[in-house]
Amino acid sequence: MKVIRKYNETSLIIRIVIGLIIGTILGILFKNLPIGILGDLFKGALRSIAPVLVFVLITNSLASSNTGMDKRFGRVIFLYMISTFLAAVVAVTVSFAFPQTLVLTEKAAHEAAAPGGIGEVMTNLLNTIVMNPIEALAKGQYLSILFWSVLLGLALKSIAAETSKTFLNDISEGISTLVRWIINLAPFGIMGLTYQMVSANGLGVFETYGSLLLVLVGSMLMVALVVDPLIAFLFLHRNPYPLVFRCLKESGIMAFFTRSSAANIPVNMELCEKLLLDEEMYSVAIPLGSTINMDGAAITITIFTLATCNTVGVRVDFATALILSVLATFAACGASGVAGGSLLLIPMACSLFGISADVAMQAVGIGFIIGVVQDSVETALNSSGDVMFAATAEYTQWIKDGHPEKLPKFLGGQRDTNV
């Protein structure tokens, strides 16, 4: 019991770092230890519970809300979408400035197929939205989960009895608690995942794909530290960096290790409470953000697609690449809220340039190899942005309503935030 108590009292970040170090050392020294199963179990648990969490949270929030959607919701959706689009534009610009290539097999490097076209892509996206909700939960199709949970929540709001709403709230709290339990065991999962990566690929993976990683991470840091703060400044007309760094510290670091925007929802909800946001607003905006606020996913899809084009000799001009930015924005909204979700959408973007699925899947494979860094930074950017833009939307409304004093002190207001 003392060991368990000491474990729970130690900072989760410290525990995760320890697990990361142990996993790396064991991966270098030993090749066939069974601890990799811990990583599979952790990843599987998050992948299984995250879709249910999103569905229940959104349904409960809308069913229990006392007011209709106001300007804050429209504003936060706009912020999510414009930041995702601008992230894709940054990725295009960086890719042209520092073009990348991938190491593909000789056979695959010469294969090509007819383009699927944007029309086909959008048709598939719309069909995904209205797919069977049970199937969507099983497969982790978050756009469909979002669609059905919103409809069910609005329906229950008008017809459900108070006892039903109380039951739904209890289920929501219960699922959130389950996720917290899983995250509390993250150090063991991170140790297993790190061991698998290092023992299978060695540390040489960072040398082989160092340039690609630098472009990916550099683009994400540019969005996190320049583009997103600029967007927040244009709305708040205040220095946004205290808010940016608060979100990166309390949401981004945790998301970096769990590698799941959906699983990080309870962490973000707690941070929103500390930032004095209205629960009716953030209880919908945060699960929504885990689905459509996908800056990192848009960057990953764009950079990998253009790198694949460079590798197989497909010439892409800047204007066409900007079309890819639009496609990447919509594609990113369909990215799964669990580890590696954005990588599986690379073939869809590659089809725009006539690149076969076989070639594109090799790019996906490379993505999974470097995912221990790429996917971690991507998720940190996505998840911290969920809170930052939810706060920006609400704080902007307070300013427009003539109540700047309601803002936290770090933004020039008069209220102390919870520490």
pTM beyond 0.85? no
Residue 349 has pLDDT above 90, yes or no: no
Instruction: Give the model confidence (pLDDT) of 167-224 as tens digits.
Output: 888 888 888 788 788 878 878 887 887 787 777 666 665 666 788 889 999 999 999 9
Mean pLDDT of 135-161: 82
What is the structure's pLDDT at 229?
95
What is the structure's pLDDT at 109?
39
Residue 274 has pLDDT above 50, yes or no: yes
What is the structure's pLDDT at 390?
92
SS (H, E, C) the chain: CHHHHHHHHCCHHHHHHHHHHHHHHHHHHCCCCCCHHHHHHHHHHHHHHHHHHHHHHHHHHHHHCCCCCCHHHHHHHHHHHHHHHHHHHHHHHHHHHCCCCCCCCCCHHHCCCCCCCHHHHHHHHHHHHCCCHHHHHHHCCHHHHHHHHHHHHHHHHHHCCHHHHHHHHHHHHHHHHHHHHHHHCHHHHHHHHHHHHHHHHCCCHHHHCHHHHHHHHHHHHHHHHHHHHHHHHHHHCCCCHHHHHHHHHHHHHHHHHHCCCCCCHHHHHHHHHHCCCCHHHHHHHHHHHHHHCCHHHHHHHHHHHHHHHHHHCCCCCHHHHHHHHHHHHHHHHCCCCCCCCHHHHHHHHHHHHCCCHHHHHHHHHHHHHCHHHHHHHHHHHHHHHHHHHHHHHHHHHHHHCCCHHHCEHHHCCCECCCC
What is the structure's pLDDT at 106?
44
Instruction: Give the model confidence (pLDDT) of 293-310 as tens digits.
Output: 888 888 888 898 888 888
Instruction: Give the model confidence (pLDDT) of 86-121 as tens digits.
Output: 998 899 999 999 988 887 654 443 343 333 445 555
What is the structure's pLDDT at 116?
45
Among 120-124, 185-189, 335-339, 413-417, name the most confident range.
Answer: 185-189
Q: Which has more pLDDT, 358 or 212?
A: 212
